[in-house]
Amino acid sequence: MGDDVLAAIARELLGVMQRNVKTDWTVRDDVRAKLRSSIKRLLVLHRYPPDRQLEAIRLVIDQMEAMAPRYAERKAS
């Protein structure tokens, strides 16, 4: 997978996060499920290897959780 494809995925993931992240998304299972579904759809669209998708989804969710406090601060101001 080329750098240009990975960069496109990253940009689209940011859009997914901005559209779907609510203040309590880290504790609401329904919102987390919607995020996982959106991430998987994006990976499939870009032909991300199916055998690596679960790991990628977990990594993206972990990174989103780490970024959530900073994102919430920016969104509030």
**CB-based contact 61:21 (threshold 8 Å):** no
- Residues 19-52 have pLDDT tens digits of 777 667 778 888 888 889 999 999 999 999 999 9
Q: Which domain, by its residues, includes 66?
A: 3-76
What 3 state SS string does the chain have? CCHHHHHHHHHHHHHHHHHHCCCCCCCCHHHHHHHHHHHHHHHHHCCCCHHHHHHHHHHHHHHHHHHHHHHHHHHHC
Residue type at position 17 = M
Number of domains in the chain: 1
Percent above pLDDT 90 for the chain = 30
